[in-house]
Structure formats: C-alpha cells, structure tokens
Amino acid sequence: MKEGDACKVLRLLRGHEPASPKELGRLCELSSVRLAAVLTFLREKGLIDAPDKRKSKIDRRALFPRINADYGHVIGVDIGGSNLRIALADLQGNVLGKWATSTKSTSSPAMVIKQIREGANHLLQQASVPRGSLLAIAAGAPGITDRQAGIVFATSYLKGWKNVPLGPLLQDTFGIPAAVENDVKLAAIGENWRGAARGIRNFAFLAIGTGIAAGIFVNGQLLHGPDWVAGEVGYMIVPGTPDAPAKRGTPGSLESIIGGEGIKQQWLRARAKRRSEPSEDLTATGIFYHALTGDRLAKSILEESARILAFAVYNISAVLNCSLFVLGGGVGMSKPLLDATERILEPYTQPSRPRLLPSALGQDAQLMGAIRLALDQAESRIDLKLP
C-alpha cells in the first residue's frame, strides 16, 4: 500500500463528509479492496473510529469512517499588523479555543514568537490538552512568504521583518513540524476547506482591505509562482489606475485606487476641494454605505471603485478561467461594493461571467486556513507506512 493512499483518505475525511464508503473510494480513486485495507490500517493506528453498529439502525452515517478527533491537536496562527490570533484545534479541525493579543508595539519576530508561545500555552491549559498532544503548528504572515523554506521575505505591516525564518523558529520553539504561508493564501485555503469556495477547484480569494492581494486555486492547487508572488494583484494596471511603475514600499497601481486607504484619500481630496463643506473622515466602507444615502460624491467613488474592481476580476477570470471570486477583507466584504461590481460585470458573459461571493468565514478565514495547513503538516509526525 502506498503511504499517499492513507494521507489521501485522511484529508478527504477531514474535508468532506462522503455519503458512503463507495463515494469515499471514488473520491480517493481507490478500489473497494484497497480502500478497505487503508481503513483497517488507519483504524488500527487509532486515527479513525470504529463503526458504531448500535447507532447504525438509527443513523446509517454511524457506519461510515470518522477521524478520531482526540488523536492529536494542532495550532493555527494568524499574524497581523495590529493583532495576533491563535486557535487550538483537534485532528478533525474542530476549534477548541481562540486567543488574541496586539502586535502594534511588539511586532519584532522574537516578540511575536514569545506571544505565540504564550497564547498556545494558555489554550492548552484552558482546554486541558497536554503539550505532548500537539502534532503541528502553522502560521500566516502578511507578506511575501516562501512556504517551502518557511521564510517571510518582507512585509510592510510588521516592523523589522525581512528574511525572517518563521517556520524554523516555530519548529525550534515548539519541537513539532511547522508551516508558514502568506496570510491571504491561507484565507483561500480556509475558504476552500470550510467556506464559500468549499470543494471548488478553480477560484480566487480577493482580500481587499488597506491593500489588495489574492489567493488563487488552479485545478485544486494553490498557486505560488517561482518567486512566491503569485496573487499580488494589487500591482495590476487596469483602466482607471495609474500606469507609472510602483516604487519599492509603495502601493501597487490597483490598490492605490481601490485599496481602503486609496478610497479614503479620494474622498478626502474631493471633500477638501469643496471648501464650503466640512471634511468628513470616513473609512472606505463608510463611504460606500454613505453612497446609499444619496450622497453624490460617495456614489461616484463607489461606482468608480466597482468599475475598476470589475475590470480586474474580469481580466483574472479570462486568464485563469476562475469559476468563482470570493471577496474578503473589510472593504471586499462591503455589500454596496459587491452589488455594484456584480451589476457592472453582468453584461460581460464571454468567455464566461465571473461569479462573486462574500467570504463565508470573514476574519476567521486565515485562522481556518492555518488550522488546515497544520493538519496537513501533522501527517509528517504520524507513521502512515505499513509495516
């Protein structure tokens, strides 16, 4: 039996609820004989529960294999420019507890590692889970990240972060396998696992907040690129955005206009020209909702932002044939922006019309992605080879 067969079955059981063992075999592309052998092996390892025949007369699902959630636990971490969030989960991916703290004044790599250790210890104690039960940890960071080496190359959201070996640091701190990923790509993993893009093989998660970035799935695989910059769509140039090359450390063309800060600056500049009107300091989402009250300036900014976003979505869709775009982030999840963008996209049906959905996980998308990545990483600690 191949080691990959056991991993494949575990991941499918974690990510889906097959209607029957037959469907599980079809999804795993395993014959009934081989599937039975894999399930027996996993059951003997204690990784899946034995069928409960007593309950099967009431609920036939009791006969289907289920992951033994108590076999081990993982930690998921979301490192932001303002806050650090941590979650403890069992082997099924059920969240047992969350912990958060600020990173505004303590954002150095050493301090963040210290905070992660503190939060993990708190969650383990709170859930009465022994430290030895931890199988893996995964973290997301807001910057260009080499997932393979576990290095965060650079991020403008965390002071002093340049070529930080976050993966090795976490592995040394906890003594367990560690994985590191860009935070937006983690959000895409989360949405694909338990969110709006559940089970979708081709989609893009667009995070629109202060800046803009994307996590893109192609044929069921997360796209990274050889330099780990796939999805940096904030640098796209579309009609209505500046065509001058972006300078190092400055926003890209697209995010300079429809990122949260870009939208706010458009509002403030336009209000300042109207000297008879006081400058009203609104956030991007506040401006969009203000448009619904009939404010002409706010409405023009909403319509222009939606038009530029629609062009970007359409172009990405035409190149990658994405069947779905999930919008996340404080700006991206704004209903006025989503509705206006959909109206503009409606006539564009060739080669195909992109479908838009708001994130189903919201701010938890990154955490859920980190948990899923940690669960996949945990398999390296489990002997899945037959004797």
**How far apart (Å, rounded) are the C-alpha atoms in residues 259 and 261?**
6
Assigned CATH for 72-188+366-381: 3.30.420.40
* CATH class as words, domain 196-360: alpha beta
Total-model pTM: 0.89
Quick count: other Cβ atoms within 10 Å of Cβ 20?
A: 12
Q: What is the pLDDT of residues 145-175, one digit of tens each?
A: 999 999 998 776 777 788 999 999 999 999 9
Start and end residues for every CATH 3.30.420.40 domain found in the chain: 72-188+366-381, 196-360
More confident residue, 357 or 12: 357
pLDDT of residue 1: 41
Q: What is the CATH number of domain 3-67?
A: 1.10.10
Q: Which residues contact 257 (CB under 8 A, 6 or more apart)?
A: 240, 241, 242, 263, 266, 305, 308
CATH 1.10.10 residue spans of the chain: 3-67
Contact 381, 366 (CB under 8 A): no
What pLDDT, in 10s, does the model give residues 310-364? Answer: 999 999 999 999 889 999 999 999 999 999 999 999 999 888 888 999 999 999 9
Residue 238 has pLDDT above 60, yes or no: yes
| CA nearest to 228, candidates 242, 243, 213, 238 | 213
- Per-residue model confidence as pLDDT tens digits over 211-223: 899 999 999 999 9
Higher pLDDT, 12 or 166: 166
